[in-house]
Structure 1
Amino acid sequence: MRALTSLLLFSFFSFPINAKSNSLSLYLWEDTLSPRVIQSWEQESNSILELSHFDNDDERSLLMMKNVQLPFDIVVLDNVSAQIYGDLGSFENLSDLPNRKHNAPRWNQACGDYAIPYFWGSVGIAYRKDLIASPPVTWGEFVNPPPEFNKKIGMINDSVESLLPIFYSLNLSPLTEDTQQIEAAFPKFEAFSKQVLTFEYVLSYVRSQHKQSQLQMALAYSGDQHSLNRTFGRDIWGFTIPKGETYIWLDCLAVSSHSTNKKMAKAFLNYISDPEIAAKNAIDIKAATPNLSALKQVPDWYKNDASLFPSPERIKNSIIDSELSAENISLRTKIINHIVKNHEAQY
């Protein structure tokens, strides 16, 4: 999908965006921008933020393919896409954004000159801690669960994350380019899928389904447990990162080079990169901020949340999302589409 996304967004950003002069349109994950930050920005700038949401990277890409004139000034995207699209001229250069200096160099470098880091984290397992005393310790335990978890597991429909638990359980990198390794993982993925309740992103599932309690653990992103607890109104969801290599995700913010509100869009990105605002946003959303200056203004409970900030050892033994070949993506997509199609046919 990264190879496809490059083409899709190039087409999308080749069209001018007709935004209102007193508003900014954002396309981002749901529940990733603090209502307090929205309110303070709108009051201080005398403008309006118009938010649209997606719940996986592939969905975002396909939507843009079908609607090339979607009116977004600012887009949240992964670090790989940010680099690709920036090189294509799709985004404004943000290397001179004043508050960019507050971010850790690692995250600035990962997002590149055409985007700024927003939140980062790890891929792990969200689980009902009121029902599960001992969550999976390894990815092997997750993909080979005991019988009582049959049809109680949630997955993600994504070209990398969907295969991640299977690959790690086989001691393979989730970013492997080896065709034989990918094909060899298919039977295990197919067997595991028979125990899966849904391939819908966990936050979307619990907000759209009546039988929320049926889902007891799911592949998820760090911070999702806090969104789940806000949705349920109770502190019943936890998050754990299985042993082994830690897979890091990074969200970046970019301004369309065809936006008619570039000045305001850049001002907004600079605003939410201000340490005080970034700290407020991070505390409310409960996701890991890349803003080092903001970390000096957050409470201890936030900084000590191991689900948001893994130990230095875990960070040292980690990999960050990186670009895959078109052939690799095509094979992964075929496998995942086959699995999901067969899964949906059962319901």
Structure 2
Amino acid sequence: MRYWLSMLLLSLAGYCPASELVVYTWEYYLAPEVKSRFEQETGIHIAEVNYNSDEARNRLLSGGYPPEFDIVSIDSLSLNDPVWRALFTVMPASIRKQNTAIDPVFTARCGDLSVPYMWGSVGIAYRRSQVSEPITRWQQLFTPEPTLSGRIVMVDDTFDLVSVALKAAGFSINTHNKSELQAAYHLLQKQRPSVATYQLSFAAVSDQQFGKRIAAAMVYSGDFYALQQNSEYKDWTYVVPEEGSPLWLDCMSILKTSQHKAEAQRFLTFLTRPDIALLNGQTMGFTPALKKSYLPASMQNNAIIYPPVKQLQRSEFYNADVSKNELRSAIYFSVLK
């Protein structure tokens, strides 16, 4: 990824015309058809630079990001942090008012520095042929059956890794209770021998070293599509566990240093058009941040894209103060060291 980023930036160095925007985002997160449509309508080309974790994104942004970057996809929780807020420009009120198809809950969470992009759950993907009984609870991933030993993938993320352990232990993902966080820590430590790697699932199944033996994974809902595409096995299934799930929301923000703010605003307005948001979501397997009434029945009834009501009621978005909890970071680094 570093080599690819370096080569792209070399190609952009000294030349980034107004007819091109550079978007820093997750891999498999922006449909090629959407980029083509935008270029056809406006003549503006979209170039991507990809990251593979929030931590990798944050390291680059905090370490002095390339001046060619225009737009960043960023989680709504991070937008509560003054460190990251300082990087982005306020979105014109006119753009936010135009987004009448966007769910106002998501608009409020992304705030005045961004537009809502995609949302979803964190669940479990597993191969049906590799387990003796269906996986329906987080506890089954933390105290796995023997056949899963060394064959599990967990996400490398400070908040979500700890939060699914909290859910497994029966606690809120927003807790600040020390004993509850310690219980999550003990679950994560107990699980370590069963974990093959801490990274995104679709990348893990492509790894030549251990990809073929992966049988279960902590997965962001939209990544399940990429997991299926990258794996040679076709018996994967996805479930939102009975205990509920951390819910995530990603937003699109324009960097203050962008030299193409007008074009960037035009692109974000384009992304939030209902027809484009649906095309993007359906192509990439994610849930666009639209009001539910805008989603077709095929999306509303798809448990991967839209969690079942019972599990959704037990799921939670992060409160803003979670990002200030230093014990979570300590747990994360202790588990992954």
TM-score of Structure 1 vs Structure 2, range by shorter chain? 0.7 to 0.9
**Aligned with 2:147: secondary structure?**
helix
Counterpart of 1:90? Answer: 88
Return the offset for 1:159.
1.3
Question: What is the number of equivalent residue pairs in this alignment?
Answer: 322
Return the offset for 1:258.
2.3
TM-score, normalised by the number of residues in structure 1: 0.85
1:42 aligns with one of 39, 48, 56:
39
Structure 2 contact 142–190 (Cα < 8 Å) conserved? no
CA distance in 2, matches of 1:95, 1:278: 20
Structure 2 contact 69–255 (Cα < 8 Å) conserved? yes
Structure 1 contact 206–212 (Cα < 8 Å) conserved? yes
**Aligned with 1:50: secondary structure?**
strand
CA distance in 2, matches of 1:135, 1:52: 38
Return the offset for 1:277.
1.2
1:65 aligns with one of 62, 85, 105:
62
Counterpart of 2:299? Answer: 302
Look up the equivalent residue of 2:88 and give its one-letter code: S
**Aligned with 2:123: secondary structure?**
strand
**What do residues 84-132 of structure 1 show as CA deviations (whole Å, max 9, x unaligned)?**
4586472232432154111011111111122111111111111123544
Counterpart of 1:339? Answer: 335
Which segments of 5 or more consecutive residues in structure 2 lack a partner in the other structure? 1-13
CA distance in 2, matches of 1:118, 1:128: 30
Structure 1 contact 26–52 (Cα < 8 Å) conserved? yes
Query: Alpha carbons of 1:186 and 1:234: their partners in 2 closer, same or farther (altered >3 Å)?
Result: closer
**Aligned with 2:119: secondary structure?**
strand
Structure 1 contact 135–240 (Cα < 8 Å) conserved? no
Structure 1 contact 120–251 (Cα < 8 Å) conserved? yes
CA distance in 2, matches of 1:303, 1:23: 35
Look up the equivalent residue of 1:225 and give its one-letter code: F
Counterpart of 1:135? Answer: 134
**Aligned with 1:125: secondary structure?**
strand
Is 1:314 matched with 2:311? yes
CA distance in 2, matches of 1:325, 1:234: 37
Is 1:236 matched with 2:235? yes
Return the offset for 1:158.
1.3
**Aligned with 1:112: secondary structure?**
helix
Structure 2 contact 71–264 (Cα < 8 Å) conserved? yes
CA distance in 1, matches of 2:220, 2:288: 14
Counterpart of 1:23? Answer: 20
Matches within 5 A, 1:173-322: 173-232=172-231, 235-292=234-291, 295-296=294-295, 298=296, 300-322=297-319
CA distance in 2, matches of 1:57, 1:234: 28
Is 1:164 matched with 2:178? no
- Larger CA deviation: 102-111 vs 184-193: 184-193
Look up the equivalent residue of 2:76 and give its one-letter code: N
Query: Alpha carbons of 1:96 and 1:313: their partners in 2 closer, same or farther (altered >3 Å)?
Result: farther
Structure 1 contact 22–46 (Cα < 8 Å) conserved? yes
Query: Alpha carbons of 1:83 and 1:340: their partners in 2 closer, same or farther (altered >3 Å)?
Result: closer
CA distance in 2, matches of 1:59, 1:241: 26
Structure 2 contact 206–231 (Cα < 8 Å) conserved? no
Query: Alpha carbons of 1:84 and 1:20: their partners in 2 closer, same or farther (altered >3 Å)?
Result: farther
**Aligned with 2:24: secondary structure?**
strand
Return the offset for 1:18.
8.3
TM-score, normalised by the number of residues in structure 2: 0.87
Structure 2 contact 204–210 (Cα < 8 Å) conserved? no
Structure 2 contact 131–147 (Cα < 8 Å) conserved? no
Structure 1 contact 19–261 (Cα < 8 Å) conserved? no
Look up the equivalent residue of 1:185 and give its one-letter code: A
Look up the equivalent residue of 2:328 and give its one-letter code: R
Query: Alpha carbons of 1:45 and 1:254: their partners in 2 closer, same or farther (altered >3 Å)?
Result: same
Question: Would you identify which runs of 4 or more consecutive aligned residues in structure 1 move more than 4 Å?
Answer: none
Look up the equivalent residue of 1:116 and give its one-letter code: V
Structure 1 contact 138–243 (Cα < 8 Å) conserved? yes
Is 1:78 matched with 2:72? no
**What do residues 125-178 of structure 1 show as CA deviations (whole Å, max 9, x unaligned)?**
111235447332221121001111000100012111111232122212222212
